């Protein structure tokens, strides 16, 4: 029965918690990646990535003991999301350079713009439907922020294959929504080592955890299979 329910969920359309599809997949690193980039590209991109990670680290992940699914809830207000939206300005300023820089760098910058636009639209929708005051009192309303950061990290790693970053970022994972049972999220994923689509770069250096997690589309946004 659980399998039938999950299949139905995967087939359903998602709302504003689903990020728009990227214009193209991040290309494989090219020789141009070693050539100098226009001034400010690396600085603006790294600043955006760092801000995005700090926002992803506000996400609380919980599971339902009956479904076997894990979801995240990330902050819609606060200094972390404000910093992400502020960091977008430097990325947008590089729009004129996208045609002249390395394709992998351009793919990351476009992904950053999608990421920032998604967060801004999501927050605006929540403020309009929930109310700004109520949202500030209970800001953990954004679904899919952990996956959104992971997608950004993948684009960064395609640009920087020699110095990849982890795509896993979240505050805590509460199995069964029980705070006292907090544990690393990757340990809760069923057969995590087989759910990645990138086995060659799955694990971080010197550690046991995966570099990416196997997010899937559920009816209310990205989720994970596990407990």
pLDDT value at position 5?
A: 36
Residue 90 CA to residue 134 CA, distance in Å, equals 31
pTM higher than the cut 0.75: yes
Per the model's pLDDT, the better-predicted residue between 36 and 156 turns out to be: 156
pLDDT value at position 192?
A: 53
Q: What percent of the chain clears pLDDT 70, i.e. is strictly above it?
A: 74
Question: Which range among 21-35, 89-103, 114-128 has the greatest average pLDDT?
Answer: 114-128
Query: pLDDT tens across 135-174, in order?
Result: 999 999 999 999 999 999 999 999 999 999 999 999 988 8
Is 54's pLDDT higher than 50?
Answer: yes
pLDDT value at position 7?
A: 35
Point out the least confidently predicted range of 89-103, 112-126, 137-151, 199-213. Answer: 199-213
pLDDT value at position 189?
A: 73
- According to the 3-state scheme, what is the secondary structure of the chain? CHHHHHHHHHHCCCCCCCCCCCCCCCCCCCHHHHCCCCCCHHHHHHHHHHHHHHHHCCCEEEEECCCCEEEEEEECCCHHHHHHHHHHHHHHCCHHHCCCCCHHHHHHHHHHHHHHHHHHHHHHHHHHHHCHHHHHHCCEEECCHHHHHHHHHHHHHHHCCCCCCCCCCCCEEEHHHCHHHCCCHHHHECCHHHCCCCHHHCECCCCCCECCCCCEEECCEEEEEEC
Instruction: Round the average pLDDT of the chain to a whole number and report it.
Output: 81
């Amino acid at each position: 029965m659980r399998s039938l329910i999950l299949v139905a969920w995967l087939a359903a359309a998602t709302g504003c918690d689903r990020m728009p599809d990227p214009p193209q997949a991040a290309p494989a690193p090219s020789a141009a990646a070693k050539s100098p980039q226009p001034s400010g590209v690396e600085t603006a991109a790294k600043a955006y990535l760092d801000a995005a990670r700090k926002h992803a680290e506000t996400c609380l992940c919980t599971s339902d003991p009956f479904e076997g699914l894990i979801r995240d809830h990330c902050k819609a207000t606060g200094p972390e999301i404000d910093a992400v939206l502020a960091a977008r300005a430097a990325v947008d300023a590089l729009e004129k350079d996208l045609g002249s820089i390395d394709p992998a760098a351009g793919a990351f910058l476009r992904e950053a713009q999608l990421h920032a636009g998604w967060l801004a639209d999501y927050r605006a929708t929540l403020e309009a439907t929930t109310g700004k005051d109520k949202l500030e009192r209970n800001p953990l309303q954004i679904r899919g922020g952990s996956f959104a950061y992971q997608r950004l990290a993948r684009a960064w790693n395609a640009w920087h294959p020699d110095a990849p970053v982890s795509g896993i970022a979240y505050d805590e994972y509460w199995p069964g929504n029980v705070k006292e049972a907090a544990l690393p999220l990757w340990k809760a994923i069923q057969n995590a080592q087989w759910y990645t689509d990138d086995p060659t770069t799955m694990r971080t250096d010197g550690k046991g955890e995966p570099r990416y997690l196997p997010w899937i589309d559920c009816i209310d946004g990205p989720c994970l299979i596990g407990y």
